[in-house]
Amino acid sequence: MFRSNPTRQDVMAESSNTPNPGSFDVGRLLEQARTFLAFGEEMRQCSEHLQENAQGSADWSSALRQHFEQFRTAVAATAGDPEVNPELARLWTLILDTWQRTAESMESASIAPPANWSSAAWQAYQQTQNQYLRLLQRTASEALDLMEQRLSESAASGRNIDSLRELYNLWVDCNEESYGRMLRNAEYSELSGRLLNALLRCYAPGETPS
């Protein structure tokens, strides 16, 4: 009945544990460290702007609004060309970067890249990816609105934010909240499914190694 019913434990291969899952990717950490530094620089400029332009609380709110408007504009600029400011772009394209890395690793691990990069399927994939990027940009902009609102609320209630890390954590919370709303709606479900399907259509079934 059994394929094997060993009596000697030492003949039992531990083959199921042998593939190396890979050591820690320091690159991932460095990338996020650079992103944190970019965020810090943005916030340093914001703080400078507030110091220079805000004397009373009304000034402060208006100066905050002005700076966040600039922040949103800078983020929008990176949507057109992430290379303009890659670190700032990474602040909001994290999931797209992760997706692209996943797609690349799948190519190298399992399937050959498409033979024709100008094919209709590849163009369709690029178009879908651009739609995905636009959705992420909208979410990033909503996250900045939320952060501006939270900062104003905390200033109004006399609650101080004393460290850059605290600000960063607030930024993460706002992005998670805004991203989470997007994730749960039907548009995201449809678009993320379409993104994967479009990538898969770039590869002819049956041409992958068996």
Partner 1 sequence: MNSLTPERITEELQSFQSRLARGVQALTEVGEIETGVSSRDPVYQEDKLVLYRYRPRVAEPHPVPLLIVYALVNRPYMMDLQEDRSMIRGLLDAGLDVYLIDWGYPDAADRRLTLVDYLQRYIGHCVDYLRERQRLEAINVLGVCQGGALSLCFAALQPEKIRNLVTMVTPVDFHTPDNLLTHLIRHVDVDLLVDTFGNPPGQLLNFAFLSLSPFRLAGQKYVEVMDILDDAPALKNFLRMEKWIFDSPDQAGEAFRQFAKDFFQHNKLVKGEVVIGDRRVDLHNVVMPVLNVYADQDHLVPPAASRALAECCGSRDYSELSFRGGHIGIYVSSRAQREIPPAIADWLLAR
Site for partner 1 in 125-164 (CB under 8 A): 151, 154-155, 160-164
Query: Per CB under 8 A, which of residues 66..85 are in contact with partner 1?
Result: none
DSSP 203: S
Q: Counting contacts by CB under 8 A, is residue 17 touching partner 1?
A: yes
- For 43, residues 6+ apart whose C-beta sits below 8 A from its C-beta are 164, 167
Q: Cβ distance 178 to 142 under 8 Å?
A: yes
Tokens in use for 66?
């002005």
Stretch that binds partner 1, among 74-82, 107-115, 116-124, 125-133 (CB under 8 A): 107-115
Spatial CA neighbour of 36 closest among 100, 80, 94: 94
Give the nearest distance from C-beta 4 to partner 1 in angstroms. Answer: 6
Measured from the CB atom, is 41 or 145 closer to partner 1? 41
Q: Counting contacts by CB under 8 A, is residue 55 touching partner 1?
A: no
Q: How far apart are CA 137 and CA 152, in angstroms?
A: 23
Stretch that binds partner 1, among 31-39, 69-77, 115-123, 124-132 (CB under 8 A): 31-39
Q: Counting contacts by CB under 8 A, is residue 95 touching partner 1?
A: yes
Long-range contacts of range 203-206, CB-CB < 8 Å, 24 or more positions apart? 203/111, 203/112, 203/114
Stretch that binds partner 1, among 26-34, 77-85, 113-121, 126-134 (CB under 8 A): 26-34
Query: Per CB under 8 A, which of residues 169..188 are in contact with partner 1?
Result: 169, 172, 175-176, 179-180, 183-184, 188
Burial 136-163 (b: 16+ CB within 10 A, else e): bbebbbbbbebbbebbbeebeeeeeeee
Give the nearest distance from C-beta 77 to partner 1 in angstroms. Answer: 21
How many residues can be counted in the chain? 210
